[in-house]
A and B are shown apart, each in its own frame.
Chain A
């Protein structure tokens, strides 16, 4: 019997529901390089952490392309210039700073926190929407619609446009999944392309409108930024909005879904959360360690020879950082396979680290804290209908496609 290569096993759907035994195997070879032109795969916490801060490791789409393609790291097909997640400093820094001046401190210190009430209302509305049903699909009925509604409010998409907007977002987001893309038929591709175009046109009309009449939303701030970094071009505003939309999407859906799945597997912790909403902050941090939505960062390449543990990674190589493995590295965390929100030390890699560390982290945290707290509070006797649930194909942005939950009553 020949053992499939570890890299193949990472992408193999059979390992999706529980990749952690595979990661344990992976950590035995901290610098894994199985195929001549293949990526170098890193799975230990400290190595990943170091590479995320290494100025010889690039995120630039151009360097990535030069390093050759592999199956996890194809660039986004949006037809727009690369967003800042695919750029290096100084361009990355400039765009991220402008975006941040519309999003967080010091310019907008309260933008996220001031959304607390609105987030709670959206969550309440979605839970009320379960109606008389005693079984729901948490993904379709809750975890998926929630972030789109939030990003609409944040960017400034008018409420009446939200259904239209969501109709375009869904196929675009789906088409970004590399596995879906690989298997997609002509029909699907056409729908996705159409949706992308419609979404682009919608966003640019919105941008144009906000240029004339700024309002208190992120889009207005992005088009009217006149800080030391100057203004964004129209194309930059579009690719940034699309980035916020997509990155803020897949990740939050999975974080909430993985969160509820984990809590249902640890009912004592679910019960504690029900009694003490204050526990939600720690629960979310531990979740980001234990079941991070972004399992792998595959879009990095080396611009110099780099030595890691005595192995030289040649300049121009692709690298994969397996965050999901680093987060359960026993060299870093004690008892790493246990979900333990009482951990004092949860310095996880769930949001990455370094200059590309998750831009939306404060929002993702708040969304998930509110979502899990409310689900815990309102669902009476919740239980999993199937365990493990069906997973999505994607190995990078990992999460259940459906999460069926039964419960006795809605409080």
Chain B
């Protein structure tokens, strides 16, 4: 029965992919590669074919790459109907239709949600609308910001020292532009890597001439009479003149279009099982709605079955491939998505890479190199296990640590390693901020639903 159904789906089915970026494209290619011959529709709210984002905060800002030439290479023809420049506005699980902003509806047999995330805007709308205030997520954002940086601003102000904010600050310094970075936490990269490593990132910024302000928040963006931003007010009452402000406060999940659909979707993404099948709001797995990429939150057996949402390039590709495979496979042939979280960044000439889930770690050990030299590997531990590792200019060893994490190696790290310094013999606190305090930018979000997301009223049965 099921085999017949899957067979028909493979040959005559209608598959709709909502989200025409990295995950959407790779899923489409996988569907075709695995023999899907039915109709395929790609829906994307941006007017562009899928493009690559990592260069936008690096090479593009430096003018080393054109924002218009970061298209993702196509691995194969996907023969799809493209609906670009039109957002999806709703999902009808019963009628199996995706509603579009232009009023159209697209029917599906299976749908893949790959709508990703968007930049979190500055919350005060009037201030966000000032000329000179930017976010950086899309190609258009990058083009606009690059143009402005090229015109020689006197000072750029970056709100938020996560990975993106730090990369933007790095690009500014490389171009010789004065830059101030403000961060609510005590150091840059704290949400992703904790305070101990964040302190290294702070030194890196200071040494490269960044005016770094920590433990402050921005209270107001001040404009001039013609609506251009001119100064930034901070919670410590200082005022800094700047003619460009980049808001880099992490991201928001693109799930609003699913409101009322009955899916388990909310401000922390769309919950799905390890096979990429979405949960409905009751926690029941669907069989024709799949999720992949930044917007997906799925349980990971290596990390205590916590639901992880990963804003990682490699994860988007791998999850899309698994989702696509499972969309056109019968139960027993389905695969779980067991991705080792991995992330990299390049800033101030340093290559930073992490594997595993650093924010899960409460302690860390520098097993190779030294924090002072800013060339090291640090291992994160949680409940006696290695859960993550990060390298600064030391990428080539990371694979070893990934394997240790996969096998649940013990923490503290007792075995000798080459280039272990005295500082690396004892674990120290990883120093992550209290998770209940808002900070942006962990690239791995560990989360259940926020209590405020509650959609189901839970009534315990009477005894």
Contact = CB atoms under 8 A, between A and B. Distances in A.
Interface of A: 50, 53-56, 58, 60, 88-90, 93, 303-305, 354-355, 357
Contact of B400 (A53, A58, A90): A53
A53 B415 contact: no
A306 to B, nearest CB: 8
Given A56-B418, A304-B416, A305-B415, A90 B399 contact: no
Contact of B396 (A50, A53, A88, A305): A53
B88 to A, nearest CB: 34
A305 B414 CA distance: 11
Interface hub of A55, A56, A88 (most chain B Cβ within 10 A): A55
Interface stretch (B21-29, B105-113, B142-150, B367-375): B367-375
Nearest to B370: A90
Contacts of A60: 418
Interface hub of B375, B396, B398, B399 (most chain A Cβ within 10 A): B396
Contacts of B68: none
B417 interface: yes
12 contacts: A55-B367, A55-B397, A55-B400, A55-B417, A55-B418, A56-B416, A89-B418, A89-B419, A90-B375, A303-B418, A304-B416, A354-B396
Contacts of A355: 396-397
B287 to A, nearest CB: 33
Q: Is the interface of B mostly helix, strand, loop or mixed?
A: mixed
A276 to B, nearest CB: 21
Interface in B352-376: 367-369, 373, 375
A55 B419 contact: yes
Interface of B: 367-369, 373, 375, 377, 396-400, 403, 415-419
A131 B397 CA distance: 50
Given A304-B416, A305-B415, A54 B369 contact: no
Given A93-B375, A304-B416, A355-B397, A55 B403 contact: no
A93 B367 CA distance: 16
B400 A89 contact: no
Contacts of A304: 415-417
A53 B403 CA distance: 10
Contacts of A58: 418
6 closest A-B pairs by CB: A55-B417, A89-B419, A53-B399, A88-B418, A304-B415, A53-B400
A54 B403 CA distance: 10
Contacts of B400: 50, 53-55
A399 B363 CA distance: 51
Contacts of B369: 89-90
A308 to B, nearest CB: 11
B418 A50 contact: no
A241 B367 CA distance: 32
Contacts of B399: 50, 53
Interface hub of B368, B397, B400 (most chain A Cβ within 10 A): B400
Nearest to B417: A55
A355 B377 CA distance: 14
A225 B85 CA distance: 53
Interface hub of A54, A60, A88 (most chain B Cβ within 10 A): A54
